[in-house]
Amino acid sequence: MENSPLNQLWEPKGTLSETERLAVTDRLVAGVAHEINTPLAYIKMNTELLSRMLHCYFTPNTLAGTTDIPCKRPIEAIQHGVECMENIVRDLKIFSRQEQKEKTGVRLAQCLAEAWTLVSSDKELASTAEIKAMIEPGLTIYGNAQQLGQVWINLLHNGIKAINIGKPLQGSISVRAWQEISDIKWVVITLADNGCGIAQSAMPRIFEPFYTSNAVNGTGLGLSIVQGIVNEHGGKITVMSVVGQGTTFTIRLPAWRLEEGDK
């Protein structure tokens, strides 16, 4: 059982040439996202205008006895498509950001709580899962709060989606964090869900940009963004998963070391 592929530990691999290639890709996707935004804004604006004109033309009296407004469904389909494209552009922008943001001490418990508040605001999605956090009091990471928040949001959101697919009797996401002391100080964070798990054939690709097993509701950039932020913080991310049992992400990030005079 020890050598079973179900228990293999996966982590993103990288070489210097790959780093250079990704830098070119980042610049490319940033430009593409910028160019898409303008025509996308035109489509969204004119679709909303058509929708308002349609409602003005078909007055309440005209609508009496009818079950649907002509063209309503195709217009709603266009609006849904625009929303999906906006999500893709948003993720592209996050994925392609190269600038290093200011780092300071980030309270892990607070950062995770804020991320869960945002994720759980989607009541329909989050109603199937609860979060269980076991975090050492006062645990603080050296990093950027906004970027780290994006990491937790993506991982929590993925965990909830996996729970919705796997449909366990009680869906839960367990978050544990502690300080690991070796040559340098690290904070170790694990996020484990009891959802559907990830197929072993997909494991080597989950950190690839645009790879997704959910083509309907996924852009395939979430874990790429997570990996990029963790790497930019000098950290490391690994994942273990068993189909039908769940997935555990383990992240190591540098601990905040309080210098003399800091508060």
Mean pLDDT of 137-155: 90
Longest Cα separation, the chain: 77
pLDDT at 183: 61
Residues whose CB is less than 8 angstroms from the CB of residue 36 and which lie 6 or more positions away in sequence, other chains included: 85, 89
- DSSP assignment of 227-256 equals HHHHHHTT-EEEEEEETTTEEEEEEEEEBP
β partners of residue 174? 132, 192
pLDDT at 2: 46
Structure-model confidence comparison of residues 164 and 212, the more confident one: 164
Task: For residue 158, give both structure tokens.
Answer: 């993925």
pTM for the model: 0.67
The 10s digit of each residue's pLDDT in 23-49 is 666 666 666 776 777 788 888 888 888
Position 173 pLDDT exceeds 70: yes
Task: For residue 244, give both structure tokens.
Answer: 């039908």
Indicate the SS3 state at residue 60: helix
pLDDT at 30: 67
pLDDT at 211: 74
Mean pLDDT of 240-259: 89
pLDDT at 98: 46
Give the closest residue to 237 by CA, choosing from 15, 10, 7: 10
pLDDT at 77: 79
- In this structure, of 10-14, 52-56, 252-256, the range with the lowest mean pLDDT score is 10-14
pLDDT at 236: 93
